[in-house]
Amino acid sequence: MPHDIRILTETQLRGAVRLDMGTVQIVERAFAALARGAVIMPPILSMDLEKVGGEFDVKTAYIDGLERFALKASTGFFGNAALGLPSLGGLMMVFSAKTGQVEAVLLDNGYLTDIRTAAAGGVAAMHLAPVGVRTAGVLGTGLQARLQLQAAHLARPFEAALIWGRDPAKAESCAREMTDTLGVPVHAITDPADLVARCQLVITTTPSRTPLITADMLHPCLHITAMGSDAEGKTEISPEALVAADAYYCDRVSQCRSLGELRGAVEAGLWDRPDPPELGQVIMGELEGRTEEEQVTICDLTGTGAQDTAIATHVMDVLGSADIGTMIRT
Amino acid sequence: MPHDIRILTETQLRGAVRLDMGTVQIVERAFAALARGAVIMPPILSMDLEKVGGEFDVKTAYIDGLERFALKASTGFFGNAALGLPSLGGLMMVFSAKTGQVEAVLLDNGYLTDIRTAAAGGVAAMHLAPVGVRTAGVLGTGLQARLQLQAAHLARPFEAALIWGRDPAKAESCAREMTDTLGVPVHAITDPADLVARCQLVITTTPSRTPLITADMLHPCLHITAMGSDAEGKTEISPEALVAADAYYCDRVSQCRSLGELRGAVEAGLWDRPDPPELGQVIMGELEGRTEEEQVTICDLTGTGAQDTAIATHVMDVLGSADIGTMIRT
């Protein structure tokens, strides 16, 4: 029986959703659902295409109560820059949770991933950062560094921000741009230790393979969200720093064990505790988050299929029956 | 940088490829590539959506030398019949193997899966069935029973065929249809043991959870292709029959261990041998297939992402720059 499938382009999707408090709340609900066991989320399907310098990751999740679920494919092909093409890409597919029928194909080139990843940073800041964040800092100068600062500013409207990157010129240009975007002074800084020392909220967004934040940099009244490490071999926080924090939270423990910062701490033999708590448990009120302004907290975000299903479902809700997209009958 | 993505419907795909010797050879090459280690194929991503009576499976594979790779999502929602909708569905996405860019979305509703699954049966028959197949038989009366008989007829042009199904009326109607399709007499039969006794090539296509073929039914000059079991709990061949055959082949050992007939034999403690050979090794000439007309051989097909990438790439090659499909710029 033929049915219509809606095809949406990146431009149409950019018009439909953006990073705001609404999307932060959408992603917050996805984390809560994860914590209360209302999500079926298989392990990430992944191909490392070494010969062609490519990575391919596929995520999905079914969330109880949502009318749809998404399947997302993300591509990273690192020779693309030389061809004048973006390195990252991908798309999402939306299925009916009642019938399994394909409802939509979201040709977003990774846009929705960017938004839902930044929104998760906003959720972490909202629930774990000190109330009194005056200065926020970000390690990294890419798109996610920019978006994470925006999300952090939604959750904790800081007075100033600092940016560090390996390339000082990129940090300078990112700082200028973010000063305009956020309407608060944003400065580039050349020493990550100096950045951490001056911030109450730090987000790490790099593909680093050696820790950028070490235990000696931790100080009272500090929250760190580490979202850069999403693959074996990547790390931004030293194992010693991870265990020195008052509390360390995962988006999903099973993923942080293999892809996130937890892997390094376990491998170093420093993680001799039970499984760390998940962010969703704090949202649900099952566990306490920050209990004292002076604490040091760390949140490790590897990215979950639940976020993808949440943002894709949100897109479909927002667009509703609006005459946007191309309908294909099949 | 915007690029064009081709959207193809089931009708357009049906016009582009069908089950013929060409598609059998395409799938044969995919099995050969698997055997020579030229394929990156992660484990199947799977969600069992018990609450809504649904299954969701995702497969992919990268094949060295092909310009594209596919990602396939298959849905099975078993309450759909009551809604007048097909139970099975899904789609494929095609990516450039050089840049990762999405090239096409194949809205096939499972059509390409049907074809590539039947083609694998053809490959198995071509390499493992006795040369002198006079009568072929199929257990099951669904679409795949029909397609498997067609594929078997391509590989071994038999003189007659038999069909068994739990519902005799469906078997009768399937037999009438296949008599027309194949141009040879096809009869329904009420006893699976009788069917096996009278055939040199048997294909099992059911979702059975108890074995339909037992060791006592095996006889000289027999090949069985078991393609029904593709999930834990399903089985069509008894463990005793599996080990009693002269040779047992897998499409992919790791998958047959968890989803195919091998699982039952291992669980019963009857599989005390090294890993069984894979079909691709026979195609490559690394291992002998059938060496004597009198032998009993069994081939276990669980379905591989390599087949999906092969058929999807074939579709793209066939369509080339023809003005078929809808181009979406994103």
Q: Which tokens is A255 given?
A: 């993923």
The answer, yes or no, to whether residue B167 has pLDDT greater than 80, is: yes
Provide, as residue numbers in chain B, all residues whose Cβ is less than 8 Å from the Cβ of A58: 45, 58, 60, 71
Residue B266 contacts residue B253 (beta carbons within 8 Å):
no
Scan residues 36-95 of A and list those with Cβ closer than 8 Å to B.
40, 42-49, 51-52, 54, 56, 58, 60, 62, 64, 69, 71, 73, 75-77, 79-80, 83-86, 89-91, 93, 95
Chain A residues whose beta carbon lies within 8 Å of the beta carbon of residue B58? 45, 58, 60, 71
* In the predicted structure, residue B12 carries a pLDDT above the cut 80: yes
Chain B residue numbers with beta carbons less than 8 Å from the beta carbon of A75 are 95, 100-101
Residue of B nearest to A97 (CA): B52
**Residue that the structure tokens 């095996």 belong to:** B218
Q: Give the mean pLDDT of B277-306.
A: 97
Under an 8 A CB cutoff, do A98 and B105 touch?
no
Tens of pLDDT, residues B210-249: 999 999 999 999 999 999 988 888 999 999 999 999 999 9
Place of tokens 């952090």: A152
**For residues A304 and A34, is the Cβ–Cβ distance under 8 A?**
yes
For B126, other C-beta atoms within 10 Å of its C-beta total 20
Tens of pLDDT, residues B81-135: 999 999 999 999 999 999 999 999 999 999 999 999 999 999 999 999 999 999 9
Instruction: Determine the Cα–Cα distance for residues A101 and B315; give it in Å rounded to an integer.
Output: 22
Q: Answer whether residue B1 shows pLDDT above 80.
A: no
**What does pLDDT average to in each consecutive run of 10 residues of chain A (330 residues)?**
92 98 98 97 97 97 97 96 95 98 97 98 98 97 97 98 97 98 98 98 96 98 94 92 97 95 95 96 95 97 98 97 95
B contact test, residue of A101, A106, A255 with most B CBs within 10 A: A101
Predicted local distance difference test score (pLDDT) of residue B330: 87
Cβ atoms of A185 and A123 within 8 Å: the answer is no
ipTM for the predicted complex comes to 0.95
- Torsion, CA A324, CA A325, CA A326, CA A328, rounded to 10: -100
Q: Supply the DSSP string of A99-140, one letter for each residue.
A: T--EEEEEE-TTHHHHHHHHHHHHHHHHHHS-S---EEEEE-
Among chain A residues, CA nearest to B1: A85
As a whole-number percent, the residues of chain B with pLDDT over 70 amount to 100
C-alpha A120/C-alpha A152 separation (Å) is 10
Q: How far is B168 from chain A (nearest CA, A)?
A: 27
Alpha carbon distance A6, A14 (integer Å): 16
DSSP state of A44: P
Task: Give the per-residue pLDDT at A233.
Answer: 87
pLDDT above 90 as % of chain B: 97
CA angle A111, A117, A122 (to 5 degrees): 125
Confidence (pTM): 0.96
Q: Determine the pLDDT at residue B231.
A: 83
Domains identified in chain A and CATH numbers? 4-113+306-329 (3.30.1780.10), 130-302 (3.40.50.720)
Taking the CA of residue B73 and the nearest CA in chain A, the distance in Å comes to 8
CA distance B233 to B210: 9
Paired with B62 in beta bridges are B40
